[in-house]
Amino acid sequence: MVIMSVDFGRARTGIAICDPGERLASPVTVINEKYVPHLTEKISVLAAERKAELIVVGLPVNMDGSEGESAQNARRFAQALEAACGIPVDMLDERCTTMEAHVFLNATNTRGKKRKQVVDAVSAVIILENYLAKRRASAGM
């Protein structure tokens, strides 16, 4: 199944996608859009182009597991995205994914403007990799 992941942010939103065999998650792009209706439209177009069958949106829960304003915004965004594109949308706890993305970018010596441009796409890849691992574990693979 082709699955797309979304790291929803106030200023930038990272997008990643996996192959039909659900083995490899790859970054697609970062969308610089703050207005949710325009953002959902842009993601809908990407999902159609990439033939996504499911979209996973990162859920930014607090470290104690509670949900704050960011998590509620992500839930509203996920509902709007599902309505806009007609593709099922799931959510996944994204705690620490941005931190993991920064660790990866440090290891690859990605700095400055380049780092700012890709960190959200790398976070989307990490969200998708975690989602795929969860699917494999629940399938007993």
Quick one: pLDDT at residue 48? 97
pLDDT at position 120 is 79
pLDDT tens figures, 118-128? 777 888 999 99
**Does pLDDT of 57 surpass 60?**
yes
Yes or no: is domain 3-138 CATH 3.40.50.10490? no
Residue 22 predicted with pLDDT over 90? yes
pTM of the model: 0.85
Of residues 120, 121, 130, 47, the one with CA closest to residue 89: 47
SS (H, E, C) the chain: CCEEEEECCCCEEEEEEECCCCCCEEEEEEEECCCHHHHHHHHHHHHHHCCCCEEEEEECCCCCCCCCHHHHHHHHHHHHHHHHHCCCEEEEECCCHHHHHHHHHHHCCCCHHHHHHHHHHHHHHHHHHHHHHHHHHHCCC
Residue 127 phi/psi, 5-degree rounding, is -60, -45
pLDDT tens column, 66-106: 888 888 999 999 999 999 999 999 999 886 666 666 666 66
Cβ distance 105 to 118 under 8 Å? yes
pLDDT score of 63? 77
Give the residue among 5, 2, 1 at the shortest CA–CA distance from 91: 5
Q: What is the pLDDT of residue 123?
A: 87
Tell me the pLDDT of the chain averaged across its residues: 87
pLDDT in tens, 26-54: 999 999 999 999 999 999 999 999 999 99
Residue % of the chain over a pLDDT of 70: 82
